[in-house]
Structure 1
Amino acid sequence: MKDVFARLATDFLSTILFVVIYLVTDNVLLATGVAIAGAIAQVIYARVKGKALGFMTYASLALVIVLGSATLLTNDPRFVLAKPAIGHFAIGAIMLKRGWLLRYLPPIVTETIPEYVTLAGFAWAALMFALGCGTIAVALTGDMKLWTFYVTVVLVGAKIAAFAIQYVAFRILVTSRLRAAT
């Protein structure tokens, strides 16, 4: 579990830096500059340590640099605010692959209710697309306080709620199926 949180923190480091610096300074341009520098430093650090970097790391770096630079050049925060949406759309597209969720679940679930696992995988994809659309809508308002709330509370809360719902639903479905089989 600790490893999962470490990976998530690594994947979202530039966004975390942006939010923290913005909340402390109330300065979008400074937060954007720090997020760009943090993303570049993260890649350099990984390369120096000899760690292999995946496609998503390089894609995230490119997005931070391109969208962050557009924000710095135009003094318009909406560019950098849209970055999490692009990530959600990319993840949603990956989640459209049938069976992606199977490897994350215990065998009792995958063997007992595989059809529900597939359905849940598509539901996760739909959630990612919905959250991405919400991020774009909030970013277009240009309201930094609303965006910060959305990214830190709504995005995280929606995923926690979806995980809890999935856990309870799978538990009920597996128990029901196993009882019916005996």
Structure 2
Amino acid sequence: MKFLVDFFPILLFFIAYKLYDIYVATAVIIIASLGQVSWVWLKHHRIENMHLVTLVLVVVLGGATLLLHDETFIKWKPTIVNWAFALAFFGSQFVGKKNLIQRMLESQISVTVPQVWNYLNMAWITFFVVMGLVNWYVAFHFDTNTWVNFKLFGMMGLTLVFVIGQSFYLAQYMVVEEESKTEKS
């Protein structure tokens, strides 16, 4: 369910773009992002930082796109979001005893080598920097239709490949709970 809530504004942006144009799609993603954050707030009485950062950037850059009738601003949003996340993951190494990836996953996953959290955190930093650069390249070296398709399918596909790769890496170091060997004879 969380995936659908996170994915909802991007999907509506894509559909609105395909049916109308970038400006209608921008207005739709602003409204959908406001709706997303409102729904999460009403349901959980808290808002995740990712949703808040995305909402602010969608409203500011989307608003500039609509006011100035210039699609450049909305095209910058994925790059800025990715670079903001890279900065957050980087900064987390210097705040507290645990980096951001460890704080996010440690309650669900135990590892045999604590240094793994640092490697994973660095991998996410690199991933977010590269994704920001790739978005920038596609946004400003290809037409808007290609960028919209890349934003939905390319970025999601690359993220999925990265998460799967991270899972294989992490599996080497995960602590596996021993199952009780109480079998009937």
Q: TM-score, normalised by structure 1?
A: 0.76
Other-structure match for 2:29:
35
Q: Displacement, 1:174?
A: 6.0
Cross-structure match for 2:10: 15
- In 2, the alpha carbon distance for the partners of 1:79 and 1:92 equals 20
Q: Which residue of 2 aligns with 1:179?
A: none
| Corresponding residue of 1:53 | 47
CA displacement, residues 121-167 of structure 1 (integer Å, 9 cap, x when unaligned):
10111111110111122222361222123222221222222222222
Runs of 4+ with deviation above 6 angstroms: none
Distance 1:170 1:34, change over 3 A: closer
Identity %: 25
SS at match of 2:46: coil
The yes-or-no answer on 1:85 pairing with 2:79 is yes
Tell me how large the CA RMSD over aligned residues is.
2.5
**Which residue identity is paired with 2:85?**
I
Q: Deviations over 1:20-43 (max 9, x none)?
A: 2112x1411111111122223334
Distance 1:49 1:121, change over 3 A: closer
Q: Paired residues, what number?
A: 166
Long gaps (5+) in structure 2? 94-98, 176-185
Letter of the 2:157 counterpart: G
Kindly indicate whether the alpha-carbon contact (under 8 Å) linking 2:13 and 2:29 is maintained by their aligned counterparts in 1: yes
- Do the aligned partners of residues 172 and 54 (structure 1) sit closer, same or farther apart at CA in structure 2, a change above 3 Å counting? closer
| Residue type at the aligned position of 1:135 | N
Say whether 1:66 aligns with 2:24. no
Residue of structure 2 in register with 1:132 after alignment: 132
CA-to-partner distance for each residue in 1:45-68, whole Å, 9 max, x for gaps? Answer: 455557322444333222112111
Q: Which residue is equivalent to 1:178?
A: none
Contact 1:14 1:64 in 2 (8 A): no
